[in-house]
A and B are shown apart, each in its own frame.
Chain A
C-alpha cells in the first residue's frame, strides 16, 4: 500500500520520461521535504514556540523564531544547491552482466556556488560528489543483471546540505543506454580446436618457430614467457610465435549446439575472453549478424562481445 503510493508519487515527479542530456536542474523539477531530523526539529521548535507564546517569554520566542527562520532559509539553501546544476553526460565502460557497472556522470554548474555533499543515487547504489562550475565526474556503481543495452535508470540527485534538516532532490533520466556484455560461462570447456582452411587442423603451437621476443604485456599467457631469455635480461620476455593460419579460431555459433540459448552466448563470450588471454586470433560467427572477421585486441574483443550482447532474446527468435 505504502509502496504503491510511493511508486505513484515517483511516477508523478518530473521528469516523467527520459530526456536528452545535458539537463539543467531548475525549480520546476526540484523537490524538497524535511528529513527525520527536520521533523524532530520542527516538533522541538513548535514546542518551544508554544511555550514561549504561552508564558509571553519574549527571548525564548525570539530564539525559537530565529531557529525557525534559519531552518526555513536552509530549505532555500538546499534548493540552491541543486538549482543550476547541469548534468552534462553519462557514460560507462561495458562490463559482463552481474558485475557492477561504473556509470560515470559528468556534472557541472551554471554559477560559482560550490556544491558539496551532492548524493547521486539509483536504487541502492549511491555516490557522493562535490563540484563547482568547473565540473566533476561522479561514479555510480550500478548493478547489472542481463546482457544487452541497459537503459540508464532515473538518477536521483539529492542533498541534505546545509543543515541536514531537509532533503532536496531532483531526478535526471538520461535518454541513453549502456552496454552490458554477456557474463562469460564460469566452467567452460577449453577453446575449440583451430580450424584451418582446407581441413588442415593441427595443433602447431609447440613446434612453431619463434619469430621474435617481445616485452611482457598484461594478459600474456605464462607459458609464452621465455624464462631463460628473461633471466638474462632481468625483465620478462614473451615469445611471439609466427602466426599461422592454422592457429586461427573460428568461434562459431554451431560449435555450441545442444546447449540452452543463453548458455551458448555465455560460452562464446568465455571463449572470446580465453582467446584474448592466450593471444590467439579469432573470428566470431553468430546468426542474424554479419560474421566478424579474424582479429585480436581490445577493439576486436569489444566488437565480438557487443555482437554477443546484442543477440536477440530467445523469445524473439521464436
Chain B
C-alpha cells in the first residue's frame, strides 16, 4: 500500500516555470484571436481586453475565486445581452469567455497542458463561424504557438535549463520541423480520407445572423447590407454572359405584406414552378454563393435548370435541400422569359392582390382611381398601362437616396405622396402596393442586381452591396413581368459597381483595383480548392488523369498506401538517425556482419587486424584478402591516407565476401 501522502504528491503536478507559463499564455492568446474576430465586435473586443487584464493581474498569483467568478458571470451576461439564445455563435462566445478567464488559475504543468489543448479548440470553433484564409492563417500561428508552449512545458518537466534548452537551433525551428515532418501524412489524410457524403448531425444555427438577403423585407431595413462590400456570390458563365443591365440575381420572392413587412409565402414553397417560355438565348453558368446557412439560392432571372440538391419553387426562386453551411457550386441555366406562368392559379392571384386593410389609404385610393381611368381589359393592355403610368410618375417625381427617415404607420403613403425619396426597398414596395390597389397582381422580388467582372479569372463577382429589390407584375398572356421602379429613377445606382463603387477603388484612385482583383481571385481559388473539397470532389479526384470515380473502398486503399509511404519515410528517417556516420566504419561493420553470420564475428575487444588474423586462417579463399583489407582499414582509420585510396578501400570492403 503506497503512502497516501506520496501518492498525493505524485498526483499534484509540479508548477510551470515563468517561461513556460508565458508561452502557455501566448498560445492561449493566439488561439483566442481568430475566435474573437468572429464574435460580434462588442463581445470580441470586450473579451480580448478582459483576457489581457486577466493575464496581467494573475501573473504572480491567482486572483480571489470570488473575483474570477464575478468576471465569469459578467462575461456570460454580456453574451446573453448581445446575442440572446442558444446557438453556435453563443457557444463559441462561451468558449472564448472561458479561455479568457482560464489563465488566472493555471499554474501547474498539467493545467498548462490542458489549457494549451483547449486553446486549440478556439480556432476550431472560429472555423465553425468563418472559414476564410485569414482565419486559417491565424489558426496556423496558434498551432505553432501551442506546439512551442508544449515544447517548453516538456522542458520544464525535464528540468532542462535555459542554457541547454536553447543550444543549437532556436526552439521554433524544432517545432516547424515537427510540423513539416508530419505534413505528408496530414495532407494524405486530408485528400484521401473518405469524407462523409452527408453530415451525421446538423450544425447548430447562429443566434446572430450574418448580413444577407432574408425571407422578409421591411423597407428601410437594408442599410447595413447595402454598405457591406463582402462578396455574396461568384459566377462563371460558360459561353456568353448577359449584359450587365440584365443581370438580375433572383433571391427570395416576397408575396405577403402586412402593411409594414414583406414576407415569403413559405407554405407555397413546394408548389411546382409554372411553365416558362424562353425568349432569346439561354445562359449557362456556375454560381458559387458564399455560405449563408440558409436554403435560399440566388439564380439569374429566370432559372430553368438547376442541379440535383436544388429545386425551383413556384415563384422561380431556387432553394437548396441543405442549408448552405459551406462553399457550394451550382451549375444552372436561365433564360429571359417571354411568358412566365401565363395562367395564374386563383389562390396565387388572390394573394398577389392582397393589400392590408387600414394602411396607406391614399395609395389605395390612387390605385383604384387609376384602375377606373384605365378600365377593365382582358387582354392586359390596361394593366400594362397602369404599370407604365406608375413608372412614369416615379421617373418624373422621385429621387434616389439612402438617407431615409424612420417609417411611420402609412409608410407607403408617406413615400409616394410626401417624401418622394428612397431606395430600392421603398420603390419596389410602394410600386407593388400601388399595383395591387389597381387590381394588377404584383409581388416584390429581392436579390442582387449587376455584378463586377474580375478580369483575372474572368468571372463575375456579386457583392452584398449589390442587394436589390424590384417588382413583378402579372399580365395576361405574358405572365410575370419584371419591373424595376428603382432603375426608372437611378439606373446608375442599381448597377453601381460599374462606376464609383468599383471594388478596391478609393475615390478617384484606382491603383488598388488590380490588387483587389488578384486577392478576390485567390479567395475564389481558396473556396474552390480548399473549402469546396468534399465527398463528391474526392470521388472525382482521379478524373483529370482519366480515372473513373473512386469508391470509398478504393479511397481507403489509396489512403492506406500513401500513409504507409509517409510512415515508411518516417521509419527511414529513424533508421538514418541511428546509422553510423562514417561510411568507412559502416562498410567495415557490414563486412563484420557477413562474417558474424558464419559464426566468425569480431569480438568486441578484438582489434581489426587480430581478428583478420584469427579468421583469415580459417577461410582459405578470402583469408589473405581479409588480412590486407583489415590492414588497409586500420591505416585509413588511424593514419593519413589520400581520399582516392579511401574510396577504393570502400569499394573493396563492399565487394568482399567470406
Chain A CB within 8 A of B544 CB: no
Closest-CB distance, A204 to chain B (whole angstroms): 54
Residues of A within 8 A of B604 (CB): 20
Q: Which of A36, A77, A116 has the largest number of chain B CB atoms within 10 A?
A: A116
Chain B CB within 8 A of A55 CB: yes
Contact yes or no, B181 A76, CB < 8 A: yes
Contact pick for A56, options B114, B189, B534, B575, CB 8 Å = B534
Residues of B within 8 A of A73 (CB): 177-179, 181-182, 570
In the bound complex, what is the Cα–Cα distance between A63 and B141 (angstroms)? 11
In the bound complex, what is the Cα–Cα distance between A214 and B162 (angstroms)? 47
**Given A52-B127, A70-B181, A162-B151, 13 extra CB contacts under 8 A:** A40-B113, A55-B199, A58-B531, A59-B139, A63-B120, A63-B123, A63-B124, A65-B187, A66-B182, A77-B178, A83-B574, A128-B160, A163-B151
In the bound complex, what is the Cα–Cα distance between A98 and B289 (angstroms)? 78
A-B pairs with beta carbons under 8 Å apart, 21 shown: A56-B195, A56-B196, A56-B326, A57-B127, A58-B131, A58-B533, A60-B124, A62-B530, A63-B143, A66-B182, A66-B183, A67-B143, A79-B574, A110-B580, A113-B577, A116-B158, A119-B158, A130-B164, A160-B158, A161-B151, A162-B174
Closest-CB distance, A52 to chain B (whole angstroms): 8
Contact yes or no, A128 B159, CB < 8 A: yes
In the bound complex, what is the Cα–Cα distance between A37 and B135 (angstroms)? 27
Chain A CB within 8 A of B417 CB: no
Chain A CB within 8 A of B155 CB: yes
Contact pick for B113, options A27, A72, A164, CB 8 Å = A164
Contact with A along B319-330 (1 / 0, CB 8 A): 000000110000
Contact yes or no, A41 B158, CB < 8 A: no
Contact pick for A80, options B135, B139, B165, B577, CB 8 Å = B577
Closest-CB distance, A98 to chain B (whole angstroms): 19
Residues of B within 8 A of A114 (CB): 164, 167-168
Chain B CB within 8 A of A51 CB: yes
Contact with A along B153-175 (1 / 0, CB 8 A): 11101111100110110000011
Residues of B within 8 A of A41 (CB): 117
In the bound complex, what is the Cα–Cα distance between A73 and B326 (angstroms)? 31
Contact yes or no, B531 A59, CB < 8 A: yes
Contact yes or no, A66 B573, CB < 8 A: no
Nearest residue in A to B201 (C-beta to C-beta)? A54
Residues of A within 8 A of B123 (CB): 63
Contact yes or no, B121 A44, CB < 8 A: yes
Chain A CB within 8 A of B299 CB: no
Also in contact, A62 and B186, with CB within 8 A (given A40-B117, A56-B535, A76-B573): yes
Residues of A within 8 A of B136 (CB): 59, 62-63
Closest-CB distance, A317 to chain B (whole angstroms): 35
Chain A CB within 8 A of B207 CB: no
Chain A residues in contact with chain B, CB under 8 A?
A: 20, 26-27, 36-37, 40-41, 44, 48, 51-74, 76-77, 79-80, 83-84, 110-111, 113-114, 116-119, 128, 130, 159-165
Chain A CB within 8 A of B147 CB: yes
Contact yes or no, B114 A40, CB < 8 A: yes
Chain B residues in contact with chain A, CB under 8 A?
A: 110, 113-114, 117, 120-121, 123-124, 127-128, 131, 135-136, 139-140, 143, 146-147, 150-151, 153-155, 157-161, 164-165, 167-168, 174-175, 177-179, 181-187, 189-190, 193, 195-196, 199-201, 203, 325-326, 530-531, 533-535, 570, 573-575, 577-578, 580-581, 604
Closest-CB distance, B114 to chain A (whole angstroms): 7
Contact yes or no, B150 A164, CB < 8 A: yes
Nearest residue in A to B148 (C-beta to C-beta)? A163
Residues of A within 8 A of B189 (CB): 65, 68
In the bound complex, what is the Cα–Cα distance between A84 and B135 (angstroms)? 42
In the bound complex, what is the Cα–Cα distance between A62 and B135 (angstroms)? 12
In the bound complex, what is the Cα–Cα distance between A96 and B254 (angstroms)? 96
Contact yes or no, A54 B150, CB < 8 A: no
Contact yes or no, A163 B196, CB < 8 A: no
In the bound complex, what is the Cα–Cα distance between A65 and B259 (angstroms)? 53
Residues of A within 8 A of B114 (CB): 40
Contact yes or no, A163 B150, CB < 8 A: yes
Nearest residue in A to B164 (C-beta to C-beta)? A130
Closest-CB distance, B468 to chain A (whole angstroms): 31
Also in contact, A128 and B120, with CB within 8 A (given A56-B196, A58-B533): no
Nearest residue in B to A61 (C-beta to C-beta)? B190
Contact yes or no, B186 A66, CB < 8 A: yes
In the bound complex, what is the Cα–Cα distance between A70 and B530 (angstroms)? 21
Contact yes or no, A26 B121, CB < 8 A: no
Residues of A within 8 A of B570 (CB): 72-73, 76
Residues of A within 8 A of B177 (CB): 73
Residues of B within 8 A of A117 (CB): 154-155, 157-160
Contact yes or no, B574 A37, CB < 8 A: no
Nearest residue in B to A133 (C-beta to C-beta)? B581
Residues of A within 8 A of B185 (CB): 65, 68-69, 72
Closest-CB distance, B332 to chain A (whole angstroms): 22
Contact yes or no, B200 A76, CB < 8 A: no
Closest-CB distance, A74 to chain B (whole angstroms): 6
Nearest residue in B to A77 (C-beta to C-beta)? B178
In the bound complex, what is the Cα–Cα distance between A297 and B167 (angstroms)? 45
Contact yes or no, A164 B577, CB < 8 A: no
In the bound complex, what is the Cα–Cα distance between A189 and B140 (angstroms)? 74
Contact yes or no, B530 A59, CB < 8 A: yes
Closest-CB distance, A19 to chain B (whole angstroms): 12
In the bound complex, what is the Cα–Cα distance between A163 and B158 (angstroms)? 11
Also in contact, A63 and B151, with CB within 8 A (given A55-B203, A128-B159): no
Closest-CB distance, A133 to chain B (whole angstroms): 10
Nearest residue in A to B131 (C-beta to C-beta)? A59
Nearest residue in A to B113 (C-beta to C-beta)? A37
Contact pick for B182, options A37, A69, A113, A160, CB 8 Å = A69
Contact yes or no, A54 B117, CB < 8 A: no
Contact yes or no, B178 A162, CB < 8 A: yes
Residues of B within 8 A of A130 (CB): 160-161, 164
Contact yes or no, A60 B178, CB < 8 A: no
Closest-CB distance, B117 to chain A (whole angstroms): 5
Closest-CB distance, A238 to chain B (whole angstroms): 43
Residues of A within 8 A of B195 (CB): 53, 56
Nearest residue in A to B187 (C-beta to C-beta)? A65
Residues of B within 8 A of A162 (CB): 151, 154, 174-175, 178
Closest-CB distance, A72 to chain B (whole angstroms): 5
In the bound complex, what is the Cα–Cα distance between A73 and B181 (angstroms)? 6
Residues of B within 8 A of A74 (CB): 178
Residues of A within 8 A of B575 (CB): 27
Contact pick for A26, options B161, B578, B581, CB 8 Å = B578
Residues of B within 8 A of A61 (CB): 190
In the bound complex, what is the Cα–Cα distance between A161 and B147 (angstroms)? 12
Contact yes or no, B196 A53, CB < 8 A: yes
Contact yes or no, A37 B110, CB < 8 A: yes
Residues of A within 8 A of B127 (CB): 52, 57, 59-60, 63
Residues of A within 8 A of B128 (CB): 55, 57, 60
Contact yes or no, B117 A128, CB < 8 A: no
Contact yes or no, A159 B158, CB < 8 A: yes
In the bound complex, what is the Cα–Cα distance between A301 and B16 (angstroms)? 47
Residues of A within 8 A of B151 (CB): 161-164
Also in contact, A116 and B165, with CB within 8 A (given A59-B135, A84-B577): yes
Contact yes or no, B577 A83, CB < 8 A: yes
Nearest residue in A to B163 (C-beta to C-beta)? A130
Closest-CB distance, A295 to chain B (whole angstroms): 35
List the 7 shortest-distance A-B pairs measured between CB atoms, nearest first.
A69-B182, A117-B158, A69-B186, A73-B181, A164-B154, A65-B186, A60-B127
Contact pick for A163, options B147, B183, B186, CB 8 Å = B147
Nearest residue in B to A48 (C-beta to C-beta)? B124
Closest-CB distance, A275 to chain B (whole angstroms): 40
Contact yes or no, B121 A116, CB < 8 A: no
Contact yes or no, A70 B147, CB < 8 A: yes
Contact yes or no, A62 B182, CB < 8 A: no
In the bound complex, what is the Cα–Cα distance between A41 and B155 (angstroms)? 18
Contact yes or no, B124 A51, CB < 8 A: yes
In the bound complex, what is the Cα–Cα distance between A71 and B562 (angstroms)? 18
In the bound complex, what is the Cα–Cα distance between A58 and B534 (angstroms)? 8
